[in-house]
Structure 1
Amino acid sequence: MAFLTIESLLVWLSSLTVEERDQYTTNLDSEEKSLLVGMLQAFYVSRAENERHQTISAALKLLNQAWSTRSALWINKKWTSLSGVLSSIVDLITKKYVAESADVAANVDAFLKTMGPDSRITPRIVLEKLVELVNIFGFSGVVVLVDKVDETEFTQNSAEAASKLVHPLLAHIQLLEVPGFAWQLFLWSQVEGSKNPLVLRSSV
């Protein structure tokens, strides 16, 4: 979830002109830079580069219709060039911010330790940090759309398997009550006799 949210944020940044992007990336305070670099390193850069490149093009195409402001590269749908822009943004953020401030470097190091395998970090805290992250760039929160739960390799059109897939989320009430983070699950209103989806919304 963190990887997809961060990737969507980076895709949005790549859709902006250089001037527009600079307005967001050059006016961050120390705490915002620390959070941004920490989240990138913990949940995005930590994934192999070839894996990230496999998902970037799909994300660019999927979100092509979503942004009201798009650069010339977006208008011409030059996905390969845009992937390079996105990678440049990641490099700029992860290297420049840490290099220019010892405080940011120290804060990022401490942040990554709290996110390590030996920490007691909870899923709710990660979701809260994602909301903090997107707030930096003017977004009010994150909405996750969960669709086609019966069409995955695991579920294969099985209602029972689909219920096992979504039950841990629905049973974990704290994950549905994170301010600024909402889930929308598109499920059946009935197991048989209806094709109308049931939409479940958490509080935002």
Structure 2
Amino acid sequence: MAKVAREMVEKAGINVDQLLQLLISNAAAELTTFYYYTILRANLIGLEGEGIKEIAETARIEDRNHFEALVPRIYELGGKLPDDMKAFHDISACPPARLPEDPTDVKAILKVLVEAERCAVRGYTHICNMTAGKDHRTYALAQAILQEEIEHESWFSEFLGEGPSGHFMRRGETSPFVRPFMPSV
């Protein structure tokens, strides 16, 4: 644990235990979303589904990257991940992005995808609001993840016909905002 990091965050007026709870539950959401998106992506088949599959794959990989980027900050602040994967799943900040009842309904899959992204946008906006001007490292990390989650939401919402977003799918590069926070890159 980076003792001075935790001390500075506490001195800035943030309840570190509450922040850790948010970071851990959002890390759980990222990892479980990675898992559920694997299943959703596998079911995006046919003419309609194939056009969405690459975008779902980018969002899936970036959610895994978000998990990887969150873990060091959790431990820096004195937190830790649960020892039990089921317990970790169950504290997710967002509901499971489960395959809809009809796995051939591409629109229903898109609704699951967009709702998962909207939950993530709300969660990281909350963390940004909590840490702005007080915990610069956590704020920067949450803001970077938020940027990517907003793009994911816009990609899926466009396919649902909710209007243009101005965002374009990235080619060849994943997690451009989060990359600086990833320990393995």
**TM bucket, shorter chain:** 0.3 to 0.5
For normalisation by structure 1, the TM-score amounts to 0.31
Structure ranking higher in strand proportion: 1
Structure ranking higher in helix proportion: 2
For normalisation by structure 2, the TM-score amounts to 0.33
